[in-house]
Protein backbone atom coordinates (compact mmCIF):
# COMPACT_ATOMS: atom_id res chain seq x y z
CA UNK A 1 0.00 0.00 0.00
CA UNK A 2 1.44 3.36 -1.04
CA UNK A 3 2.03 6.10 1.51
CA UNK A 4 -0.76 8.27 0.06
CA UNK A 5 -3.28 5.40 0.08
CA UNK A 6 -2.33 4.50 3.65
CA UNK A 7 -2.82 8.11 4.77
CA UNK A 8 -6.24 8.28 3.13
CA UNK A 9 -7.25 4.99 4.75
CA UNK A 10 -6.12 6.32 8.16
CA UNK A 11 -7.90 9.66 7.54
CA UNK A 12 -11.16 7.88 6.71
CA UNK A 13 -10.91 5.85 9.92
CA UNK A 14 -9.86 8.79 12.15
CA UNK A 15 -12.66 11.02 10.87
CA UNK A 16 -15.20 8.16 10.77
CA UNK A 17 -16.17 9.09 7.24
CA UNK A 18 -17.65 5.75 6.19
CA UNK A 19 -20.20 3.46 7.87
CA UNK A 20 -19.86 -0.28 7.43
CA UNK A 21 -22.50 -0.42 4.70
CA UNK A 22 -24.08 1.78 2.07
CA UNK A 23 -23.06 3.20 -1.30
CA UNK A 24 -20.31 5.76 -1.79
CA UNK A 25 -21.16 8.20 -4.60
CA UNK A 26 -17.82 9.59 -5.82
CA UNK A 27 -17.92 12.81 -7.81
CA UNK A 28 -15.72 12.19 -10.84
CA UNK A 29 -14.90 15.21 -13.00
CA UNK A 30 -11.90 13.63 -14.71
CA UNK A 31 -9.37 15.90 -13.00
CA UNK A 32 -6.40 14.53 -11.06
CA UNK A 33 -8.05 15.00 -7.64
CA UNK A 34 -11.24 13.10 -8.45
CA UNK A 35 -9.44 10.41 -10.47
CA UNK A 36 -7.06 9.70 -7.57
CA UNK A 37 -9.95 9.64 -5.08
CA UNK A 38 -12.00 7.25 -7.20
CA UNK A 39 -8.98 4.98 -7.67
CA UNK A 40 -8.25 4.94 -3.92
CA UNK A 41 -11.86 4.24 -2.95
CA UNK A 42 -11.90 1.42 -5.52
CA UNK A 43 -8.93 -0.12 -3.67
CA UNK A 44 -10.36 0.39 -0.17
CA UNK A 45 -14.05 -0.43 -0.55
CA UNK A 46 -15.69 -3.86 -0.96
CA UNK A 47 -17.02 -4.59 -4.44
CA UNK A 48 -20.39 -3.05 -5.19
CA UNK A 49 -20.15 -0.11 -2.79
CA UNK A 50 -18.57 2.46 -5.12
CA UNK A 51 -20.55 4.39 -7.75
CA UNK A 52 -19.00 7.27 -9.71
CA UNK A 53 -21.04 10.30 -10.79
CA UNK A 54 -20.10 12.73 -13.58
CA UNK A 55 -21.83 15.97 -14.59
CA UNK A 56 -21.51 17.53 -18.02
CA UNK A 57 -22.46 21.12 -17.18
CA UNK A 58 -22.93 22.18 -20.80
CA UNK A 59 -20.44 25.02 -20.34
CA UNK A 60 -17.13 23.98 -21.95
CA UNK A 61 -18.34 22.59 -25.27
CA UNK A 62 -16.06 19.99 -26.86
CA UNK A 63 -13.77 19.91 -23.82
CA UNK A 64 -16.72 18.81 -21.64
CA UNK A 65 -17.61 16.12 -24.17
CA UNK A 66 -14.02 14.82 -24.08
CA UNK A 67 -14.06 14.76 -20.25
CA UNK A 68 -17.30 12.77 -20.26
CA UNK A 69 -15.95 10.25 -22.78
CA UNK A 70 -12.73 9.96 -20.76
CA UNK A 71 -14.43 9.09 -17.44
CA UNK A 72 -16.87 6.73 -19.17
CA UNK A 73 -13.95 4.85 -20.71
CA UNK A 74 -11.97 4.71 -17.43
CA UNK A 75 -14.92 3.49 -15.35
CA UNK A 76 -15.71 0.81 -17.94
CA UNK A 77 -12.13 -0.48 -17.82
CA UNK A 78 -12.05 -0.42 -13.99
CA UNK A 79 -15.46 -2.05 -13.67
CA UNK A 80 -16.93 0.84 -11.66
CA UNK A 81 -20.60 1.82 -12.18
CA UNK A 82 -20.94 5.37 -13.55
CA UNK A 83 -23.93 7.69 -13.57
CA UNK A 84 -23.82 10.73 -15.91
CA UNK A 85 -25.95 13.87 -15.87
CA UNK A 86 -26.04 16.17 -18.89
CA UNK A 87 -27.20 19.61 -17.81
CA UNK A 88 -27.50 23.05 -19.38
CA UNK A 89 -26.21 25.14 -16.50
CA UNK A 90 -26.05 28.44 -18.46
CA UNK A 91 -29.74 28.12 -19.34
CA UNK A 92 -30.65 27.14 -15.78
CA UNK A 93 -28.66 30.08 -14.38
CA UNK A 94 -30.59 32.48 -16.65
CA UNK A 95 -33.89 31.13 -15.31
CA UNK A 96 -32.90 31.38 -11.64
CA UNK A 97 -30.69 34.48 -11.75
CA UNK A 98 -27.78 32.59 -10.18
CA UNK A 99 -24.15 32.89 -11.17
CA UNK A 100 -22.75 30.02 -13.26
CA UNK A 101 -20.59 28.72 -10.42
CA UNK A 102 -23.40 28.77 -7.84
CA UNK A 103 -25.87 27.22 -10.25
CA UNK A 104 -23.41 24.51 -11.28
CA UNK A 105 -22.75 23.65 -7.65
CA UNK A 106 -26.48 23.39 -6.90
CA UNK A 107 -27.12 21.16 -9.92
CA UNK A 108 -24.10 19.02 -9.08
CA UNK A 109 -25.04 18.34 -5.48
CA UNK A 110 -28.70 17.79 -6.35
CA UNK A 111 -27.56 15.05 -8.74
CA UNK A 112 -25.33 13.49 -6.10
CA UNK A 113 -28.19 13.54 -3.58
CA UNK A 114 -30.53 11.87 -6.08
CA UNK A 115 -28.12 8.92 -6.20
CA UNK A 116 -27.63 8.79 -2.43
CA UNK A 117 -30.93 7.42 -1.16
CA UNK A 118 -29.92 5.06 1.64
CA UNK A 119 -29.36 6.13 5.25
CA UNK A 120 -25.75 4.90 5.11
CA UNK A 121 -24.99 6.21 1.60
CA UNK A 122 -22.25 8.84 1.38
CA UNK A 123 -21.24 11.43 -1.23
CA UNK A 124 -17.45 11.73 -1.69
CA UNK A 125 -15.94 14.90 -3.14
CA UNK A 126 -12.26 15.26 -4.02
CA UNK A 127 -11.32 18.37 -2.02
CA UNK A 128 -7.65 18.37 -1.05
CA UNK A 129 -5.48 20.12 1.52
CA UNK A 130 -4.57 22.59 -1.26
CA UNK A 131 -8.29 23.37 -1.72
CA UNK A 132 -8.48 23.84 2.04
CA UNK A 133 -5.68 26.43 2.00
CA UNK A 134 -7.30 28.31 -0.90
CA UNK A 135 -10.69 28.28 0.82
CA UNK A 136 -9.32 29.66 4.09
CA UNK A 137 -7.54 32.48 2.25
CA UNK A 138 -10.61 33.19 0.09
CA UNK A 139 -12.85 33.44 3.16
CA UNK A 140 -10.26 35.63 4.90
CA UNK A 141 -10.30 38.06 1.98
CA UNK A 142 -14.11 38.09 1.97
CA UNK A 143 -14.28 38.70 5.73
CA UNK A 144 -15.31 35.58 7.63
CA UNK A 145 -15.53 34.55 11.27
CA UNK A 146 -14.27 31.40 12.93
CA UNK A 147 -16.73 29.14 11.11
CA UNK A 148 -15.86 30.50 7.68
CA UNK A 149 -12.13 30.30 8.42
CA UNK A 150 -12.59 26.68 9.49
CA UNK A 151 -12.54 25.92 5.79
CA UNK A 152 -13.83 22.70 4.30
CA UNK A 153 -15.06 20.14 6.86
CA UNK A 154 -14.01 16.51 6.58
CA UNK A 155 -17.70 15.61 6.64
CA UNK A 156 -20.99 17.46 6.55
CA UNK A 157 -24.12 15.39 6.86
CA UNK A 158 -23.79 12.76 4.07
CA UNK A 159 -20.91 14.52 2.27
CA UNK A 160 -17.37 13.30 2.96
CA UNK A 161 -13.88 14.44 1.82
CA UNK A 162 -11.63 11.35 1.77
CA UNK A 163 -8.55 13.03 0.25
CA UNK A 164 -8.61 16.26 2.30
CA UNK A 165 -5.43 15.05 4.01
CA UNK A 166 -3.40 15.19 0.77
CA UNK A 167 -1.98 18.14 -1.15
CA UNK A 168 -2.54 18.60 -4.88
CA UNK A 169 1.11 17.71 -5.52
CA UNK A 170 0.70 14.45 -3.58
CA UNK A 171 -2.44 13.66 -5.56
CA UNK A 172 -0.67 14.12 -8.88
CA UNK A 173 2.30 12.04 -7.68
CA UNK A 174 -0.13 9.23 -6.74
CA UNK A 175 -1.64 9.38 -10.22
CA UNK A 176 1.78 9.12 -11.85
CA UNK A 177 2.82 6.19 -9.62
CA UNK A 178 -0.36 4.31 -10.51
CA UNK A 179 -0.39 5.29 -14.20
CA UNK A 180 -3.67 7.16 -13.85
CA UNK A 181 -4.32 9.74 -16.55
CA UNK A 182 -6.43 12.81 -15.91
CA UNK A 183 -8.07 15.72 -17.74
CA UNK A 184 -6.94 19.30 -17.29
CA UNK A 185 -9.60 22.02 -17.12
CA UNK A 186 -8.19 25.07 -18.92
CA UNK A 187 -10.38 27.40 -16.82
CA UNK A 188 -8.29 26.45 -13.76
CA UNK A 189 -5.50 28.60 -15.21
CA UNK A 190 -7.63 31.69 -15.85
CA UNK A 191 -6.75 34.30 -13.20
CA UNK A 192 -10.00 36.22 -13.72
CA UNK A 193 -11.42 33.87 -11.09
CA UNK A 194 -10.56 34.87 -7.51
CA UNK A 195 -9.75 31.32 -6.42
CA UNK A 196 -7.35 30.91 -9.33
CA UNK A 197 -5.56 34.14 -8.41
CA UNK A 198 -5.12 32.80 -4.89
CA UNK A 199 -3.87 29.48 -6.29
CA UNK A 200 -1.42 30.88 -8.85
CA UNK A 201 -0.39 34.22 -7.34
CA UNK A 202 -1.06 34.45 -3.59
CA UNK A 203 -0.09 30.97 -2.41
CA UNK A 204 3.27 30.95 -4.25
CA UNK A 205 4.20 34.20 -2.48
CA UNK A 206 3.17 32.77 0.88
CA UNK A 207 5.07 29.57 0.11
CA UNK A 208 8.25 31.63 -0.33
CA UNK A 209 7.80 32.88 3.24
CA UNK A 210 6.63 29.54 4.63
CA UNK A 211 7.27 26.39 2.55
CA UNK A 212 4.71 24.56 4.73
CA UNK A 213 1.96 27.16 4.24
CA UNK A 214 -0.70 24.58 3.30
CA UNK A 215 -0.05 22.54 6.45
CA UNK A 216 -0.04 25.77 8.49
CA UNK A 217 -3.40 26.87 7.10
CA UNK A 218 -4.75 23.36 7.64
CA UNK A 219 -3.80 23.55 11.34
CA UNK A 220 -5.30 27.03 11.58
CA UNK A 221 -8.56 25.84 10.05
CA UNK A 222 -8.69 22.87 12.43
CA UNK A 223 -8.05 25.10 15.45
CA UNK A 224 -10.75 27.57 14.41
CA UNK A 225 -13.19 24.76 13.70
CA UNK A 226 -12.63 23.43 17.22
CA UNK A 227 -13.29 26.91 18.64
CA UNK A 228 -16.36 27.41 16.45
CA UNK A 229 -17.77 24.01 17.45
CA UNK A 230 -17.30 24.87 21.13
CA UNK A 231 -18.95 28.28 20.79
CA UNK A 232 -21.90 26.85 18.87
CA UNK A 233 -22.40 24.15 21.46
CA UNK A 234 -22.39 26.83 24.18
CA UNK A 235 -24.83 28.88 22.11
CA UNK A 236 -27.25 25.97 21.75
CA UNK A 237 -27.33 25.52 25.52
CA UNK A 238 -27.56 29.27 26.12
CA UNK A 239 -30.48 29.61 23.70
CA UNK A 240 -32.57 27.39 25.95
CA UNK A 241 -31.48 29.37 29.01
CA UNK A 242 -32.47 32.77 27.56
CA UNK A 243 -35.76 31.56 26.10
CA UNK A 244 -38.91 33.05 27.63
CA UNK A 245 -42.59 32.66 26.82
CA UNK A 246 -42.82 34.92 23.76
CA UNK A 247 -39.21 35.30 22.69
CA UNK A 248 -35.81 35.76 24.32
CA UNK A 249 -34.81 37.61 27.48
CA UNK A 250 -32.72 40.66 26.59
CA UNK A 251 -31.09 40.80 30.02
CA UNK A 252 -30.08 37.15 29.78
CA UNK A 253 -28.51 37.70 26.35
CA UNK A 254 -26.65 40.77 27.65
CA UNK A 255 -25.04 38.58 30.31
CA UNK A 256 -23.55 36.25 27.69
CA UNK A 257 -20.11 36.68 26.09
CA UNK A 258 -20.59 38.45 22.75
CA UNK A 259 -19.24 35.48 20.76
CA UNK A 260 -21.95 33.29 22.30
CA UNK A 261 -24.68 35.95 22.18
CA UNK A 262 -24.35 36.54 18.44
CA UNK A 263 -24.59 32.77 17.83
CA UNK A 264 -27.66 32.59 20.07
CA UNK A 265 -29.29 35.24 17.86
CA UNK A 266 -28.30 33.36 14.69
CA UNK A 267 -29.78 30.15 16.04
CA UNK A 268 -33.00 31.86 17.12
CA UNK A 269 -33.43 33.63 13.77
CA UNK A 270 -33.14 30.35 11.88
CA UNK A 271 -35.42 28.60 14.36
CA UNK A 272 -38.10 31.22 13.67
CA UNK A 273 -37.90 30.62 9.92
CA UNK A 274 -35.62 33.49 9.02
CA UNK A 275 -33.15 32.58 6.23
CA UNK A 276 -29.50 32.34 7.22
CA UNK A 277 -28.80 35.88 8.49
CA UNK A 278 -25.76 37.81 7.32
CA UNK A 279 -23.11 38.95 9.78
CA UNK A 280 -24.16 42.59 9.41
CA UNK A 281 -27.72 41.79 10.54
CA UNK A 282 -26.52 39.74 13.51
CA UNK A 283 -24.20 42.55 14.62
CA UNK A 284 -27.02 45.10 14.31
CA UNK A 285 -29.30 42.87 16.38
CA UNK A 286 -26.59 42.41 19.01
CA UNK A 287 -26.08 46.19 19.20
CA UNK A 288 -29.81 46.68 19.73
CA UNK A 289 -29.77 44.04 22.47
CA UNK A 290 -26.87 45.77 24.20
CA UNK A 291 -28.74 49.09 24.02
CA UNK A 292 -31.81 47.42 25.42
CA UNK A 293 -34.20 48.43 22.68
CA UNK A 294 -34.79 48.93 19.00
CA UNK A 295 -36.19 47.42 15.86
CA UNK A 296 -34.59 46.21 12.66
CA UNK A 297 -35.48 44.34 9.51
CA UNK A 298 -33.66 41.17 8.53
CA UNK A 299 -33.73 39.16 5.25
CA UNK A 300 -36.90 37.36 4.32
CA UNK A 301 -39.31 40.10 5.44
CA UNK A 302 -38.74 39.56 9.17
CA UNK A 303 -38.62 42.24 11.84
CA UNK A 304 -36.75 42.02 15.13
CA UNK A 305 -38.19 44.04 18.01
CA UNK A 306 -36.49 44.57 21.37
CA UNK A 307 -38.46 46.16 24.16
CA UNK A 308 -38.82 45.74 27.93
CA UNK A 309 -36.51 42.72 28.26
CA UNK A 310 -38.07 40.87 25.35
CA UNK A 311 -36.66 40.09 21.91
CA UNK A 312 -39.10 38.88 19.30
CA UNK A 313 -38.83 38.15 15.60
CA UNK A 314 -41.92 38.23 13.41
CA UNK A 315 -42.77 37.94 9.75
CA UNK A 316 -44.04 41.27 8.49
CA UNK A 317 -46.23 41.88 5.49
CA UNK A 318 -44.71 44.48 3.22
CA UNK A 319 -46.80 47.64 3.42
CA UNK A 320 -46.15 51.06 1.87
CA UNK A 321 -44.44 53.44 4.28
CA UNK A 322 -46.07 56.72 5.17
CA UNK A 323 -44.47 59.36 7.37
CA UNK A 324 -46.26 60.54 10.49
CA UNK A 325 -46.10 63.11 13.26
CA UNK A 326 -47.99 63.32 16.53
CA UNK A 327 -48.16 66.40 18.80
CA UNK A 328 -47.40 65.58 22.43
CA UNK A 329 -50.25 66.36 24.77
CA UNK A 330 -49.59 65.45 28.37
CA UNK A 331 -48.19 62.36 30.01
CA UNK A 332 -49.14 59.68 27.47
CA UNK A 333 -49.17 59.87 23.65
CA UNK A 334 -50.22 57.17 21.17
CA UNK A 335 -47.91 57.04 18.17
CA UNK A 336 -48.83 56.06 14.62
CA UNK A 337 -46.64 52.94 14.86
CA UNK A 338 -48.78 51.56 17.69
CA UNK A 339 -46.49 52.39 20.61
CA UNK A 340 -47.32 54.65 23.53
CA UNK A 341 -44.79 57.32 24.45
CA UNK A 342 -44.73 57.90 28.22
CA UNK A 343 -43.18 61.09 29.67
CA UNK A 344 -42.45 61.80 33.33
CA UNK A 345 -40.56 64.66 34.97
CA UNK A 346 -39.17 64.63 38.51
CA UNK A 347 -36.23 65.88 40.61
CA UNK A 348 -32.86 64.43 39.70
CA UNK A 349 -32.68 62.88 43.18
CA UNK A 350 -35.50 60.47 42.22
CA UNK A 351 -33.90 59.35 38.93
CA UNK A 352 -32.46 56.01 40.05
CA UNK A 353 -35.63 55.07 41.92
CA UNK A 354 -37.87 55.83 38.92
CA UNK A 355 -35.69 53.92 36.47
CA UNK A 356 -35.58 50.91 38.77
CA UNK A 357 -39.34 51.07 39.33
CA UNK A 358 -40.03 50.91 35.59
CA UNK A 359 -37.35 48.25 35.05
CA UNK A 360 -35.77 50.30 32.25
CA UNK A 361 -32.46 49.12 30.80
CA UNK A 362 -31.64 52.17 28.66
CA UNK A 363 -33.99 55.01 29.62
CA UNK A 364 -34.25 58.22 27.60
CA UNK A 365 -33.27 61.04 29.97
CA UNK A 366 -33.26 64.78 29.21
CA UNK A 367 -32.58 67.89 31.29
CA UNK A 368 -36.17 69.03 31.87
CA UNK A 369 -35.29 72.69 32.36
CA UNK A 370 -33.79 72.91 28.86
CA UNK A 371 -37.17 72.20 27.25
CA UNK A 372 -39.71 73.68 29.71
CA UNK A 373 -40.13 76.76 27.52
CA UNK A 374 -40.25 74.80 24.26
CA UNK A 375 -43.34 75.07 22.12
CA UNK A 376 -44.86 72.64 19.62
CA UNK A 377 -43.28 69.51 21.09
CA UNK A 378 -44.00 66.59 18.77
CA UNK A 379 -42.74 63.14 17.90
CA UNK A 380 -42.45 62.06 14.29
CA UNK A 381 -40.49 60.18 11.65
CA UNK A 382 -37.50 61.78 9.93
CA UNK A 383 -37.73 64.43 7.23
CA UNK A 384 -35.39 65.60 4.50
CA UNK A 385 -32.94 68.15 5.89
CA UNK A 386 -33.11 66.96 9.53
CA UNK A 387 -29.92 67.71 11.48
CA UNK A 388 -28.93 66.37 14.88
CA UNK A 389 -26.25 67.06 17.52
CA UNK A 390 -25.70 63.84 19.50
CA UNK A 391 -24.80 64.37 23.17
CA UNK A 392 -21.09 64.33 23.91
CA UNK A 393 -19.90 64.55 20.30
CA UNK A 394 -19.81 68.32 19.80
CA UNK A 395 -20.95 68.08 16.19
CA UNK A 396 -24.05 68.73 14.14
CA UNK A 397 -24.68 66.56 11.09
CA UNK A 398 -27.54 65.67 8.83
CA UNK A 399 -29.53 62.77 10.16
CA UNK A 400 -29.03 61.02 6.83
CA UNK A 401 -25.24 61.20 7.23
CA UNK A 402 -25.37 60.03 10.86
CA UNK A 403 -27.50 57.04 9.89
CA UNK A 404 -25.02 56.19 7.15
CA UNK A 405 -21.96 56.54 9.42
CA UNK A 406 -23.51 54.36 12.12
CA UNK A 407 -24.70 51.83 9.52
CA UNK A 408 -28.32 52.04 10.62
CA UNK A 409 -30.17 49.62 8.28
CA UNK A 410 -31.82 51.45 5.39
CA UNK A 411 -35.00 49.41 5.91
CA UNK A 412 -35.66 50.90 9.36
CA UNK A 413 -34.49 54.51 8.98
CA UNK A 414 -37.90 55.82 7.95
CA UNK A 415 -39.56 54.05 10.89
CA UNK A 416 -37.40 55.47 13.70
CA UNK A 417 -38.96 58.12 15.93
CA UNK A 418 -37.52 61.59 16.60
CA UNK A 419 -38.58 64.14 19.23
CA UNK A 420 -38.75 67.69 17.92
CA UNK A 421 -39.29 71.12 19.41
CA UNK A 422 -39.58 74.09 17.03
CA UNK A 423 -37.55 72.29 14.37
CA UNK A 424 -34.78 71.18 16.75
CA UNK A 425 -34.30 67.43 17.21
CA UNK A 426 -34.11 66.77 20.96
CA UNK A 427 -33.88 62.99 20.70
CA UNK A 428 -33.45 60.41 17.91
CA UNK A 429 -34.22 56.72 18.32
CA UNK A 430 -31.00 54.64 18.36
CA UNK A 431 -28.87 57.83 18.89
CA UNK A 432 -30.17 59.26 22.17
CA UNK A 433 -30.63 62.87 23.27
CA UNK A 434 -29.14 65.98 21.73
CA UNK A 435 -26.12 67.74 23.20
CA UNK A 436 -28.11 70.72 24.52
CA UNK A 437 -30.60 68.56 26.44
CA UNK A 438 -28.11 66.13 27.96
CA UNK A 439 -27.95 65.60 31.73
CA UNK A 440 -25.25 67.66 33.45
CA UNK A 441 -24.00 68.02 37.05
CA UNK A 442 -26.19 71.11 37.50
CA UNK A 443 -29.36 69.39 36.21
CA UNK A 444 -32.21 69.80 38.72
CA UNK A 445 -35.14 68.08 37.04
CA UNK A 446 -35.17 65.11 34.68
CA UNK A 447 -37.54 64.29 31.83
CA UNK A 448 -37.88 60.54 31.41
CA UNK A 449 -39.20 59.04 28.16
CA UNK A 450 -39.97 55.40 27.49
CA UNK A 451 -42.21 53.35 25.23
CA UNK A 452 -44.98 50.87 25.89
CA UNK A 453 -46.74 48.67 23.31
CA UNK A 454 -50.21 49.52 22.11
CA UNK A 455 -52.75 48.58 24.74
CA UNK A 456 -54.63 45.32 24.26
CA UNK A 457 -51.84 43.93 22.14
CA UNK A 458 -49.61 41.15 23.39
CA UNK A 459 -45.86 41.53 23.46
Dump pLDDT digits (tens) for 143-202. 778 888 888 999 999 999 999 999 999 999 999 999 999 998 766 666 556 778 888 889
Residues 329, 305 share a domain: no
**Residue 137 and residue 37 share a domain:** yes
Alpha-carbon span 163 to 126, nearest angstrom: 6
Decide if 445 is inside a domain: yes
Q: Are residues 368 and 432 in the same domain?
A: yes
Query: Above pLDDT 90, what percent of the chain?
Result: 48
Could you read off the pLDDT of 394-441 as tens digits, one per residue?
788 999 888 888 777 777 788 889 999 888 999 998 888 999 999 999
What does the pLDDT read at residue 233? 94
Residue 159, domain member (yes or no) = yes
* CA angle at 74 for the pair 72 and 77, rounded to the nearest 5°: 110
Task: Give the model's pLDDT for residue 173.
Answer: 95
Rounded mean pLDDT of 41-60?
91
How do residues 268-295 score in pLDDT, each as one tens digit?
988 888 766 777 788 888 988 888 887 7
- CATH number, residue 268: 3.30.465.60
Assess whether 345 and 297 both reside in one domain.
no
| pLDDT higher than 70, residue 393 | yes
Q: Are residues 311 and 339 in the same domain?
A: no
Q: Is residue 227 part of a domain?
A: no
Predicted pLDDT of residue 456: 39
What's the pLDDT score for residue 450?
86
Rounded percentage of the chain residues whose pLDDT exceeds 70: 92
Q: For residue 409, count CB atoms less than 10 angstroms from its CB and return exposed for 0-12, middle for 13-18, buried for 19 or more.
A: middle
pLDDT at 457: 39
pLDDT recorded at residue 38: 95
The verdict on 301 and 337 lying in the same domain is no
Predicted pLDDT at 305:
85
The larger pLDDT score, comparing residue 361 to residue 84, is at 84
Is pLDDT larger for residue 96 or for residue 41?
Answer: 41
Which of 221, 236, 253 is a domain's end point? 221
Q: What are the two backbone dihedrals, phi and then psi, of residue 273, each rounded to the nearest 5 degrees?
A: 95, 0
Q: Between 317 and 368, where is the model more confident? A: 368
Q: Are residues 13 and 107 in the same domain?
A: yes
Q: What is the CATH number of the domain that holds 400?
A: 3.50.40.10
pTM for the model stands at 0.63
Task: Say if residue 249 is in the same domain as residue 108.
Answer: no
User: Which has the minimum average pLDDT: 143-157, 201-215, 221-235, 372-386?
Assistant: 372-386
Residue 103 main-chain phi, psi, to 5 deg: -65, -45
Boundary-marking domain end, from 186, 221, 256: 221
Query: Which stretch of DSSP H or E encloses residue 346?
Result: strand 340-347
Predicted confidence (pLDDT) at residue 235 exceeds the cutoff of 90: yes
- Mean pLDDT throughout 229-233? 93
Which residues does residue 446 pair with via DSSP β-bridges, in sequence order? 346, 367
pLDDT at 336: 83
259 and 125 together in one domain = no
- Is the model's pLDDT at 77 over the cut of 90? yes
Residues 305 and 418 in one domain: no
Same domain, 281 and 337: no
Considering its fold, how many domains does the chain have in total? 3
In a domain? residue 233: no
pLDDT of residue 317: 60
Query: What pLDDT is attached to residue 321?
Result: 62
Statement to judge: residues 23 and 168 lie in one domain: yes
Q: Are 429 and 294 in contact (CB under 8 A)?
A: yes
Distance between CA atoms of 325 and 332, rounded to whole angstroms? 15
Residue 81 CA to residue 48 CA, distance in Å, equals 9
Is the pLDDT at 125 greater than 50, yes or no? yes
The answer to the question of residue 231 being in a domain is no
- So what's the pLDDT on residue 347? 93
Q: Is residue 236 part of a domain?
A: no
* Average per-residue pLDDT for the chain: 87
- Residues in a beta bridge with 334: 340
Res 106 pLDDT > 60: yes
pLDDT tens-digit readout, 305-361: 887 788 988 876 655 567 889 998 888 888 888 888 888 989 999 988 888 776 666
24-40 pLDDT, tens digit per residue, is 999 999 999 999 999 99
pLDDT on residue 372: 66
State the Cα angle at 106 between 101 and 110, rounded to 5°: 150
Domain boundary among 315, 341, 371: 315
- Domain of 209? 3-221
Length of the chain: 459
Amino acid sequence: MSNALYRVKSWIEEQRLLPDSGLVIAGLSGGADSMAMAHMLHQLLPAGRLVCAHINHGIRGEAAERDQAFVEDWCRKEGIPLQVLRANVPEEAKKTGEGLEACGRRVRYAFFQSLSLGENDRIATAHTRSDQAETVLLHLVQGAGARGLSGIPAKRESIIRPVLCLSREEIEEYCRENHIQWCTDATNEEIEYTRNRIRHQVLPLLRDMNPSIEETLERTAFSLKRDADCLEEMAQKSLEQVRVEKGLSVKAIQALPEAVAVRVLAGYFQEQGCPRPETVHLEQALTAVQRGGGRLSVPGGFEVSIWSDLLRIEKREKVPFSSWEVPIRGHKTLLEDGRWLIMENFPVSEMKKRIKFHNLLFPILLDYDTITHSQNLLIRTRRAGDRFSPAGRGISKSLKKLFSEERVPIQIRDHLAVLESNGELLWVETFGVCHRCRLRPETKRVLLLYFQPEENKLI
